[in-house]
Amino acid sequence: MSSKLEVVGLKKAYKSADVLRGVSFDVRDGEFLSILGPSGCGKTTLLRLLIGLLAPDEGHIYKDGAEITHERPDRRGMGIVFQNYALFENMTAKKNVAYALRFHGMTKAEAMARADEMIAAVGLTEHADKLPRSLSGGQQQRVAIARTLALSPDIVLLDEPMSALDVATRLSMRAELLRLGREFGTTLIYVTHDQEEAFALSDRIMIMDGGEISQLDTPENIVAHPANAYVQSFVLDNLRAKVDSLSRFTGGIGGGA
């Protein structure tokens, strides 16, 4: 796959504290890349630099070969889904999706038609006229994703989008994200602190620690060849601990009579 996004030497500091220390990586066209790391490792700052909500102190961002380091967010061809959904409480699900389209040259009728299409794509047609307070957390997240995809971005950034959801809804949303990514041909960059989530979803995983990249590789290669002690501890040991904690309960699951 060709590179969709290329990041070269990004640095960002707050009050002399380095948050990103010369981060460089590429994102391939159509892939699902997870950025995995604990709180404070720089992953959300990196996402905000990519979308244009922050400016880097140093470094460059290229999309499809063109530099977008200082381009306005609305001119980058990217969308973002926030952790808290950021829906308008006084608008129905459909109107939440249609709202931004009016600022991109669509008539009201065109925007509502596109909103209907996207609401259907995320399986919420019967909830289209409900306000956010009448929707579950998973349904609100689907509206937020539909709103982002409605603008046809070729890259979608997702900032811990499932952290507030219950386990069953998170599992359902994982499958939905993968389906939507394939259906719309979108490149997905997903920020998470959850090792299991990253391994379940990703083509590649970028593991961050202290504002730097510890390893960027496929899940299979990370398991087979952890780059250092941090990757071994934060990723593999934590995954094994989760598996071990459940193993005594799973012996009889799926067995015959």
Going residue by residue through the chain (257 aa), what tens digit of pLDDT does each one get? 689 999 999 999 998 789 999 999 999 999 999 999 998 899 999 999 999 999 999 999 999 999 999 999 999 999 999 888 889 999 999 999 999 898 888 999 999 999 999 999 999 999 999 999 999 989 999 999 999 999 999 999 999 888 878 888 888 888 888 888 888 889 999 999 999 899 999 999 999 999 999 999 999 999 999 999 999 999 999 888 878 877 777 665 555 44
pLDDT (tens digit per residue) in 131-141: 999 999 899 99
Q: What is the 3-state secondary structure (H, E, C) of the chain?
A: CCEEEEEEEEEEEECCEEEEEEEEEEEECCCEEEEECCCCCCHHHHHHHHHCCCCCCEEEEEECCEECCCCCHHHCCEEEECCCCCCCCCCCHHHHHHHHHHHHCCCHHHHHHHHHHHHHHCCCHHHCCCCHHHCCHHHHHHHHHHHHHHCCCCEEEEECCCCCCCHHHHHHHHHHHHHHHHHHCCEEEEEECCHHHHHHHCCEEEEEECCEEEEEECHHHHHHCCCCHHHHHHHHHHHHHHHHHHHHHHCCCCCCC
What token pair was written down for 68? 């977008």
Dist. CA 253–CA 6, nearest whole Å: 45
Q: Which distant-in-sequence residues (6+ apart) come within 8 Å of 91 by Cβ?
A: 99, 131, 132
Q: By residue range, what is the domain housing residue 131?
A: 92-152
Q: Are 227 and 235 in contact (CB under 8 A)?
A: no
Is residue 171 domain-resident? no
Radius of gyration over every alpha carbon of the chain, rounded to an integer in angstroms: 19
* Residue 121 falls inside a structural domain: yes
Q: Domain for residue 78, yes or no? A: no
Question: Does 119 map to a domain?
Answer: yes
The set of residues, in sequence order, having a beta carbon less than 8 Å from that of 72 and lying 6+ positions away, is 52
In a domain, 100, yes or no: yes
Task: Count up the domains in the chain and report the number.
Answer: 1
pLDDT digits (tens, 9 = 90+) for 7-64: 999 999 998 789 999 999 999 999 999 999 998 899 999 999 999 999 999 999 999 9
The answer to whether residue 243 sits within a structural domain is no
Q: Confirm whether 104 is domain-assigned.
A: yes
255 CB burial (10 A radius; 0-12, 13-18, 19+): exposed
Antiparallel, parallel or unpaired: β 58-63 and 3-14: antiparallel
Domain assignment present for 227: no
